[in-house]
């Protein structure tokens, strides 16, 4: 029997901002504050996928009633949480920002504009530092975000950092099977590039990385991330290729250090801070290599669910 009740239409929004939250306050709070004005001005929506307790999700929902908060179990890793946000989104465009980042003024508008500029499937921008006072925070920044230090050049690129990126939602849904198993830089992005999807680098689509970190906490997170990254990558490799990568892991610390230094030198960016942080960067790169070795040998295990 047909109902006489009118069908409730779900409003279409210009874009959806997805934030996967595992760390929680104060970072997710500050991130939400940084996007609030643009979300409201553009008629967009914000979705926070909060991994953990119902109380934590309820706290975020109470403090930020303009955002949609989805609570998921603690076993959800960041990629799985982002996938959940994509599935719940109403926007044709999905902007992703890491909870430890603050959006610059105009960030969301730049993201929306990027998806209107030519035949691009994804775009991203620079990740600036917060002029950290502690060397351990510089270690995290240099190791994790050296591929996105400002300034970046506008135009086609093959590399995006998932902490600051925007995608066409239909493209993400077409590759939904890749969204939960590993960080998108290791799973989704290579698949998109292989299919000929174009990425755009947008200098004005900037975010700022926040701290602080405990050094021991970071080393553990670096191990977990590296194991998850290598494990996800290995699943799509032949046995021979996996063996080659495994044998090459002892070279990883030196190669990564050279890459970081080269990028900083090319842009003359924070070279003094880099030199001061070197004694702490080297152990982090060794931990990176250990994590990759375990990932190639044993797979990701449950590492991804523990990455924050």
Per-residue pLDDT for the chain (308 aa), expressed as one digit of tens each? 333 444 344 444 689 999 999 888 899 999 999 999 999 999 999 999 998 888 889 999 999 999 999 999 988 888 999 999 999 999 999 999 999 999 999 999 999 999 987 789 999 999 999 999 999 999 999 999 999 999 999 999 988 999 999 999 999 999 999 888 777 887 899 999 999 999 999 999 999 999 877 899 999 999 998 998 888 888 878 889 989 999 999 999 999 999 999 999 999 999 999 999 999 999 999 999 999 999 999 988 888 778 77
Q: Would you say residue 262 lies in a domain?
A: yes
What pLDDT score does 305 carry?
A: 78
92 is written with which tokens? 């044709």
Which residues make Cβ contacts (< 8 Å) with residue 257, sequence separation at least 6? 281, 282, 285
Q: Would you say residue 66 lies in a domain?
A: no
5/94 Cα distance (integer angstroms): 32
CA triple 307-37-67, angle to 5 deg: 50
Q: Would you say residue 52 lies in a domain?
A: no
What pLDDT score does 77 carry?
A: 86
- Alpha-carbon torsion (169, 175, 176, 181), positive or negative: negative
CB 160 within 8 A of CB 120: no
The domain containing residue 252 runs over which residues? Answer: 215-306
What pLDDT score does 150 carry?
A: 95
What pLDDT score does 270 carry?
A: 96
What pLDDT score does 8 carry?
A: 41
Give the single-character DSSP code of 177. G
Q: Would you say residue 109 lies in a domain?
A: no
- Sole residue written with tokens 């991994």: 51
CB 24 within 8 A of CB 52: yes
131/137 Cα distance (integer angstroms): 9
How far is residue 24 CA from its own chain's centroid? 16
What pLDDT score does 1 carry?
A: 35
Q: Would you say residue 252 lies in a domain?
A: yes
303/235 Cα distance (integer angstroms): 15
6, with CB counted inside 10 A (0-12, 13-18, 19+), is exposed
Q: Would you say residue 249 lies in a domain?
A: yes
Q: Would you say residue 29 lies in a domain?
A: no
First to last CA, the chain: 49
112/11 Cα distance (integer angstroms): 18
How far is residue 141 CA from its own chain's centroid? 13
Rg for the chain (alpha carbons), in Å?
A: 19
Query: For the chain, how many structural domains are there in total?
Result: 1
Q: Quick one: which of 120, 90, 106, 94 has its CA closest to 19?
A: 94
CB 296 within 8 A of CB 234: yes
Task: Label the pairing between strands 16-21 and 93-97.
Answer: parallel
Q: Would you say residue 237 lies in a domain?
A: yes
What pLDDT score does 10 carry?
A: 42
Q: How many CA atoms lie within 13 A of 200 on its CB side?
A: 21
How far is residue 261 CA from its own chain's centroid? 22
196 is written with which tokens? 């000929």
pLDDT in tens, 76-102: 888 999 999 999 999 999 999 999 999
């Amino acid at each position: 029997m047909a109902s006489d009740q009118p069908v409730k239409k779900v409003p279409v929004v210009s874009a959806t901002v997805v934030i996967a939250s595992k760390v929680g306050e104060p970072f997710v709070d500050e991130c939400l504050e940084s996007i609030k004005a643009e979300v409201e001005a553009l008629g967009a929506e914000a979705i926070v996928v909060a991994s953990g307790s119902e109380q934590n999700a309820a706290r975020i929902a109470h403090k930020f009633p303009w955002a949609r908060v989805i609570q998921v179990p603690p076993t959800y890793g960041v990629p799985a949480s982002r996938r959940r946000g994509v599935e719940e989104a109403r926007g044709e465009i999905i902007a992703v920002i890491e909870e430890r980042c603050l959006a610059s003024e105009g960030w969301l508008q730049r993201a929306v504009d990027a998806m209107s500029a030519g035949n691009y499937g994804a775009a991203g921008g620079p990740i600036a530092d917060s002029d950290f006072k502690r060397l351990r925070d510089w270690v995290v920044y240099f190791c994790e975000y050296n591929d996105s230090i400002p300034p970046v050049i506008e135009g086609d690129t093959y590399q995006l950092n998932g902490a600051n990126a925007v995608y066409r939602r239909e493209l993400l849904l077409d590759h939904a099977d890749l969204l939960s198993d590993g960080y998108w830089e290791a799973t989704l992005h290579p698949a998109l590039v292989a299919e000929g999807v174009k990425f755009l680098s947008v200098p004005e689509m900037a975010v700022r990385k926040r701290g602080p970190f405990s050094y021991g906490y970071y080393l553990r997170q670096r191990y977990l991330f590296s194991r998850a990254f290598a494990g996800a990558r290995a699943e799509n490799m032949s046995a021979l290729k996996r063996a080659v990568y495994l044998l090459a892991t002892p070279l990883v610390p030196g190669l990564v250090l050279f890459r970081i230094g080269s990028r900083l030198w090319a842009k003359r960016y924070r070279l003094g801070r880099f030199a001061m942080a070197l004694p702490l960067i080297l152990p982090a790169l060794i931990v990176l290599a250990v994590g990759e070795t375990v990932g190639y040998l044993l797979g990701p295990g449950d590492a991804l669910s523990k990455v924050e």
